[in-house]
Amino acid sequence: DAGVIQSPRHEVTEMGQEVTLRCKPISGHNSLFWYRQTMMRGLELLIYFNNNVPIDDSGMPEDRFSAKMPNASFSTLKIQPSEPRDSAVYFCASSLTEDSYEQYFGPGTRLTVT
């Protein structure tokens, strides 16, 4: 099994640009989670999907952030426009079911906004 796949691994962009992060969950997993990790705030849940439906987006910081899951094998997290304070490592994780709690994390995307 390839595990959770994220792309790109690193992204450097200028303030004001649109950024799209991509995630492919493990095949057969029904739940997908997007996290943001920073030194100051640690690991925060942004949004999670179950069966492609957004269940809880209370962690999404503001309207500049949006996430979609058009099918069971693909999700995107978009930031538009990006700001320097969005610089962080963004992780995608998937789990077999939403109540299994064993989440499998991807390697992360390190985003730098200058």
Partner 1 sequence: AQSVTQPDIHITVSEGASLELRCNYSYGATPYLFWYVQSPGQGLQLLLKYFSGDTLVQGIKGFEAEFKRSQSSFNLRKPSVHWSDAAEYFCAVAIGGSNYKLTFGKGTLLTVNP
Q: Which residues bind partner 1 (CB under 8 A)?
A: 4, 31, 42-43, 45, 48, 55-56, 91, 93, 98-99, 101-108
Q: Is the Cβ of residue 65 or residue 91 nearer to partner 1 in the bound state?
A: 91
Residue type, 20: T
Pick 17 or 27: Cβ nearer partner 1: 27
Cβ proximity to partner 1: between 81 and 110 the closer is: 110
80 or 100: whose CB is closer to partner 1?
100
Rounded to 5°, angle at Cα 89 from 88 and 92: 135
Task: Give the C-alpha separation, 51 to 53, whole Å.
Answer: 6
As measured in angstroms, the least distance from the Cβ of 58 to partner 1 is: 9
**In the complex, what is the shortest distance from the CB of residue 92 to partner 1, in angstroms, rounded to a whole number?**
8
| Minimum gap (Å) between residue 26 Cβ and partner 1 | 12
CB of 84 to partner 1, least distance (A): 22
CB 108 within 8 A of CB 11: no
> H helices then E strands: how many in the chain?
0, 11
Nearest to 82 by CA among 43, 111, 53: 111
Contact 89, 10 (CB under 8 A): no
